[in-house]
Each structure stands twice: as structure tokens, then as C-alpha cells.
Amino acid sequence: MATEVWEARAAALWERLEELDRDEFVQAMIDLAAECDPEDPVALFEVGGAHDSTGYTEAAVGYYERAIAAGLAGVRRRRVSIQMASSLRETGHPERALDLINAEQARGSDEYDGALAMCEALTLAKLGRDREGLSVALIALAPHLPRYQRSTVNYARGLVGDDPTG
């Protein structure tokens, strides 16, 4: 099982991402994960992320799926859904990505809601549903505006024919 010391070492390795060759980085993460149980969800998540961040997107999906199956929990569970949906979207599976995003959104709300909305907006665009994607992005942005939150949400809903005043 990944310990605090192991996680600190993984974080230190992530700090070196830009200085290492992509294959060196992935191998270093695989080697680090090998110190854990082969089905440790945190180690699988980190190896998936290493693949994803270095352009091995398709390989990342398998690690993400294994991490979920192994019981990945907490904030990493939310992050793996975002990362895997992004990978699925970019490898030609946007429908699966949207299903994953919707399932994750149904699990609750947290500080990653905006990231989920971003992923949903990009996935909708990939599916040719640009107006829906823009609507999702604007609704996610609205709470961060100093003013015009209500009108932004109303305009965003109007993009997809959901008129709140009608």
C-alpha cells in the first residue's frame, strides 16, 4: 500500500517531469509503483497519470480503469475520472468520456466541479455539440464573476433552449 513516504517520493518524481525524458519518467513511476502491491489503487493512478502526462494516453486508460476497480477513493477518485474522461475523449471515445463525466457528477460536488465542467464542455465540443459545451463552460464560470452571474447563467441556458424566464 502506498504510504505517506511513498506518496512524497511520487510527488518528488512529478516535480522532475520536465527534466526527464518521457520514457525515463514513465519508467521511474513504474519502478516506484512496483514497490507497492500490484493492485494498489494509488500506485495505479500515479502510473496512469505518468503515461497520460507524457503522451501515452491510451495506455493511461487501462491504469485508470484498474485504479477505479481497485477502489481508488477520495479526491484521487474524482481526479481519475477527469483524467480518464479526457484520455477517452482524445483517443476517439467521447461518448464513453461523457458517460464517465456524468457518472462522476452524480457522485457529488467538490472543488473539482469546475474541472469536471471543463472536461464536459470539451467533450461536448468533440461530439459536435458546441453550444451545449459553451453553455456548460459559462455556467461553471458564472460563480467566479464579480457581477452578472445570474444573467450569464440565463444566457448560457438560452444557448441550449432552456429559457429560465419562459
pLDDT, tens digit, 9 for 90 and up, residues 78-107:
999 999 999 999 999 999 999 999 999 999
Is the pTM for the entire model greater than 0.85? yes
Instruction: Outline which parts of the chain fall under CATH 1.25.40.
Output: 1-72, 75-166
**DSSP state, 134?**
H
pLDDT, tens digit, 9 for 90 and up, residues 119-166:
999 999 999 999 999 999 999 999 999 999 999 999 999 999 976 554
Contacts of 18 (CB under 8 A, 6+ apart): none
Report, as an integer, the average pLDDT of 54-77: 96
With contact defined as beta carbons under 8 Å apart, do 144 and 130 qualify? no
Cα of first residue to Cα of last residue in the chain, in angstroms, is 55
**What is the torsional sign of CA 99, 107, 67, 87?**
positive
**1-72: what fold?**
1.25.40
Distance between CA atoms of 10 and 27, rounded to whole angstroms? 12
- CATH for 75-166? 1.25.40
pLDDT surpassing 90 at residue 73:
yes
Please calculate the CA angle 102-90-32 and round it to the nearest 5 degrees. 90
